[in-house]
Amino acid sequence: MRTFGAALIAGLTLATLAGSVSCSKKSGKSKPAPQLPAGGDVIGSQPVGDLAAILATVDGVPITVGELQERLNRMSPYIRQRYTSLEQKKEFLDSLIRFEVLAKEAERRGLGKDPEVVRTMKQVMIQKLMRDEFEVKLTPDAITDADVKKYYDGHLDEFVKPEEVRAAAIVLKSKDQATRVAAEAAGEAGQTNKGFRDLVAKYSADDETKLRGGDLRWMAADSKDLPGPVVAAAFTLANTGDVSGVVDDGKGGFWVLKQTGRRKAMTRTLDEAGQQIRNKLYREKRVDAQKVFIDGLREKSKIEVDDGNLAKVRIDTSAQGGDPHYDSAPLPDFGTPPPAPTPPEPPPLDPAEAPAAPKGP
- Torsions phi, psi for 137 (to 5 deg): -80, -25
Q: Cα 173 from chain centroid?
A: 50
pLDDT of residue 137: 78
pLDDT score of 149 more than 80: yes
pLDDT at 159: 95
Read off the pLDDT band of 303 (50, 70, 90). confident
- Of 77 and 255, which is predicted with more confidence? 255
Which pLDDT score, from 0 to 100, does residue 325 have?
A: 54
Is pLDDT of 24 > 90? no
Q: Which residues are paired to 257 by β-bridges? A: 169
Closest CA to 274 of 184, 181, 145: 145
CA distance linking residue 92 with residue 79, whole number of Å: 12
Beta-bridge mates of residue 311: none
- Mean pLDDT (the chain) is 80
Q: Residue 64: name the closest of 88, 100, 39, 37 by CA.
A: 100
159-211 pLDDT, tens digit each = 999 999 999 999 999 999 999 999 999 999 888 999 999 999 999 999 999 99
Name the pLDDT band for 324 (thresholds 50, 70, 90): low
More confident residue, 325 or 96: 96
Hey, what domains does the chain have and what are their CATH numbers? Answer: 2-117 (no CATH), 160-267 (3.10.50.40)
Percent of the chain with pLDDT over 90: 54
Query: From CA 179, how far away is CA 258, in angstroms rounded?
Result: 15
pLDDT band at residue 310 using 50, 70 and 90 as cut-offs: confident
Contact of 100 with 22, CB cutoff 8 Å: yes
CA dist 323 and 329 (Å) reads 13
Q: Cα-Cα-Cα-Cα dihedral of 263, 269, 272, 276, to 10°? A: 80
pLDDT of residue 74: 87
Q: Which of 7-21, 44-58, 303-317 has the lowest average pLDDT?
A: 7-21
pLDDT confidence band for 326 (50 / 70 / 90): low
Q: What is the pLDDT of residues 70-122, one digit of tens each?
A: 888 888 888 888 888 889 889 989 999 999 999 999 999 999 999 999 999 99
Residue range 205-234, pLDDT digits in tens: 999 999 999 999 999 999 999 999 999 999
| Residue 258, phi-psi category: left (phi > 0), alpha (psi -120 to 50), beta (remainder) | beta
Structure confidence at residue 343 (pLDDT) = 35
- Stronger pLDDT, 191 or 48, i.e. the higher one: 191
User: pTM surpassing 0.75?
Assistant: no
**Is the per-residue pLDDT at 47 higher than 90?**
no
